[in-house]
């Protein structure tokens, strides 16, 4: 009696084709997963930058709206020609402005935007008799102020502009440069997921 035994299986070629197809599929899945992760990180960073920018402009706007006095525009830096630090006062608050300095510690009041109570006067920071209280760094870690403008017209309307950037340890993700008032993120998502920027302008009517 003769029996026929079927010993058919995968050939080496078939195994290689299957392995290649599986590897390609796995690579596509991993690429998609990484892309989604980068988009999520980018979104979180952008949300934080926008939130801080709004908080700063809202704080200045509220001071202008309710102080009853025009802002004391002592010296707002332009970021041009080495003019990178200054201050101005609205009501009882003084805002110290320091451009192009990345905040690495929110307790550091020598960078970014610092709001502090100084009373109705507007002393120059560090001058005799200057004794501010409740100094608060208004930017989170990794953020950098690149522009803050405050202009008030005779019609009691003030315009506030701000540009805040967030980046890691690589400032080359910013264009034209990390020390430009209009810096913004550039490059592919793979290279700039840790970069976010926002430019924000608002107007406020000063109380009579």
Residue 94: exposure state from Cβ atoms within 10 A (0-12, 13-18, ≥19): buried
Q: What is the pLDDT of residues 78-128, one digit of tens each?
A: 876 678 999 999 989 999 999 999 999 999 989 999 999 998 888 899 899
What per-residue confidence (pLDDT) applies to 191?
61
Place of tokens 């502090």: 116
Please give the sequence-ordered ranges of beta strands (E in DSSP) within the chain, or none if there are none.
Answer: 72-75, 85-90, 93-98, 112-117, 133-137, 143-152, 157-166, 174-175, 184-185, 196-205
Residue whose token pair is 């010296």: 75
The rounded average pLDDT for each run of 10 residues, N- to C-terminus, in the chain (208 residues) is: 59 81 82 73 87 94 85 80 87 93 92 93 88 94 93 86 90 90 79 83 83
- Which pLDDT score, from 0 to 100, does residue 118 have? 92
pLDDT of the residue at 41: 78
Q: Which residues of 17-34 are buried (b: 16+ CB within 10 A; e: fewer)?
A: eeeeeeeeeeeeeeeeee
Which pLDDT score is estimated for 50? Answer: 93
Is 2 buried (19+), middle (13-18) or exposed (0-12) by CB count in 10 A?
exposed
pTM score of the predicted model: 0.81
């Amino acid at each position: 009696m003769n029996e026929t035994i079927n010993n058919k299986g995968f050939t080496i070629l078939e195994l290689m084709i299957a392995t290649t197809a599986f590897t390609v599929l796995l690579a596509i899945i991993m690429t998609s997963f990484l892309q989604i992760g980068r988009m999520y990180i980018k979104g979180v960073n952008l949300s934080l930058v926008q939130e801080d920018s709004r908080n700063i402009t809202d704080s200045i706007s509220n001071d202008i709206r309710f102080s009853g006095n025009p802002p004391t525009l002592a010296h707002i830096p332009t970021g041009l020609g080495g003019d990178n630090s200054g201050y101005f006062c609205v009501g009882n608050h003084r805002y110290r402005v320091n451009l192009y300095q990345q905040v690495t510690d929110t307790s550091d009041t020598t960078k970014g935007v610092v709001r502090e109570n100084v009373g109705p006067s507007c002393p120059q920071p560090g001058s005799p008799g200057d004794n501010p209280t409740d100094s608060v760094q208004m930017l989170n870690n990794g953020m950098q102020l690149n522009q803050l403008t405050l202009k008030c017209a005779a019609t009691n309307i003030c315009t506030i502009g701000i540009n805040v950037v967030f980046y890691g340890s690589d400032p080359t993700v910013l264009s034209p440069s990390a020390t430009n008032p209009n810096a913004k993120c550039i490059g592919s998502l793979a290279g700039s997921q840790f970069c976010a920027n926002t430019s924000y302008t608002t107007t406020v009517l000063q109380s009579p």
